[in-house]
Amino acid sequence: MIYSKYSRNNAGVAAVALAIGLLSAPSAWAFNPPVAHYTFDQGVDDYSVVTAIDSANANDGVWQNVGFDGLAYTGGVIGGAVSLRGATDDYFLIPSIPQIDGIEPTPFTAPQLGVGITVSAWMYVDDDAPSGYKGIFKSRDVTSENISGVATGRDWGLAWEGGDHIDTRVHSSGVDSNDGSITRNQWHHVALVWGNVDAEAPAIPPASVIYVDGVKQANVVENTEVFNLVTSGAWLIGEDSCCGGREFPGLLDDLAMFGEALSDADIATLYSNGLSGIDAAGNATGIILPGDVNQDESVTIADFNIIRDNMGLAATARSQGDLNGNKRVDLNDFRVWLDAAPAAAAAEALATFSLPIPEPSSLLLVLATGPLSASRRRAR
């Protein structure tokens, strides 16, 4: 089971995965490493990180909100995650991913199975996240060739749409995941595959396929008629550059692009390995326990003491007690810790309320208005 503040409500999905054997052991790696890979782990212990660092080929993303106030980090499915509030210019800009330039799934001679691209990411949205059309990983700069010829400014990538499904684009042509496939307050793995994926098709047409939590969705375009991804152009993490107000209001983790069209089994591997704390490059990054401040892989009174001592102060790292990534140690962090703490440690912490710690009246007010464990949502 994966224990992260934002995956506790994912218990049902993990239980199903366990029941069918997905979690019995991580699957073997059967494909090449990503050509671009953004884990967001670096920002968890250093809030001054304002770059989406590409660990594969240095295709780094630059944060676009000059005030940096919309950028935060917290625990994800696999190590850390970036927390985006969805305000104007709250996104990363990647100038280009040249490793996908010239990918041609369907040449006129000898089409080859597996040629294409894959985009993979983990996402999470709260109950109060505004719906609409919100970019997860998008480009409107791709130059690609379809049956009508070469065109520039084509729309490619993944977006969260309507509050309950994923919209994907290939050469501006869209296909959606099943309605209701994306639920709130739960981590989901989403993937887009474009290229030669059907070994039984006579000409192996370049298909467009979308997956949610390792499952191929019903809406598959068997032949996109897109022959060539000529140049990649710029890509945005957390935004779609069209139309305004399309910044993503949620968490993103382990975003990766592959320079090949992964198979059904490959996508299932990404999903099941992610649940086991293994990232898209096959690294056993591990997990972050929701109440573990000092990173000793346990939740104890020592973690509470850090939160108590820093209550009300600004934070520059999660290790200072900021468990929800809002750059401040506050009651919400205490809620996260209390929700994860063993009963004995929780009782010991509650007993200290009689001591002169910061914001005692606020703490008592929270106790009086309802159980602390009822609130698991990210402070916005």
- CA nearest to 208, candidates 225, 186, 228: 225
- The three-class DSSP label of residue 148 is coil
- The three-class DSSP label of residue 169 is strand
Whether the Cβ atoms of residue 103 and residue 229 lie closer than 8 Å to each other:
yes
Instruction: Look at residue 289 in the predicted model and tell me its pLDDT.
Output: 86
Poorest-confidence range of 60-69, 282-291, 369-378? 369-378
- CA nearest to 4, candidates 291, 273, 318, 276: 291
- Beta-bridge partners for 170: 173
Per-residue pLDDT reduced to its tens digit, 274-324: 999 999 999 998 788 889 999 888 999 999 999 999 999 999 999 999 998
- When pLDDT is averaged across residues 196-200 and rounded to a whole number, the result is 81
Residue 371 predicted with pLDDT over 60: no
Q: What is the pTM of this model?
A: 0.84
Residues of the chain with pLDDT > 70: what percent? 84
Q: What is the 3-state secondary structure (H, E, C) of 192-224?
A: EEEEECCCCCCCCCEEEEEEECCEECCCCECCC
Domains of the chain, residue spans: 8-275, 301-374
- When pLDDT is averaged across residues 147-172 and rounded to a whole number, the result is 95
- When pLDDT is averaged across residues 129-149 and rounded to a whole number, the result is 95
Per-residue pLDDT reduced to its tens digit, 314-364: 999 999 999 988 889 999 999 999 999 999 999 999 987 654 444 444 444
H or E segment to which residue 161 belongs: strand 149-161
pLDDT greater at residue 352 or residue 11: 352
- CA nearest to 139, candidates 257, 254, 2: 257
Whether the Cβ atoms of residue 80 and residue 288 lie closer than 8 Å to each other:
yes
- When pLDDT is averaged across residues 361-377 and rounded to a whole number, the result is 42
The DSSP-derived string for 228-283 is EEEE---EEES---SSS-----SEEEEEEEESS---HHHHHHHHHHHHTTB-TTS-
Instruction: Look at residue 379 in the predicted model and tell me its pLDDT.
Output: 37
Per-residue pLDDT reduced to its tens digit, 67-102: 767 788 988 999 999 999 999 999 999 999 999 999
Domain 8-275 fold is: Jelly Rolls (2.60.120)
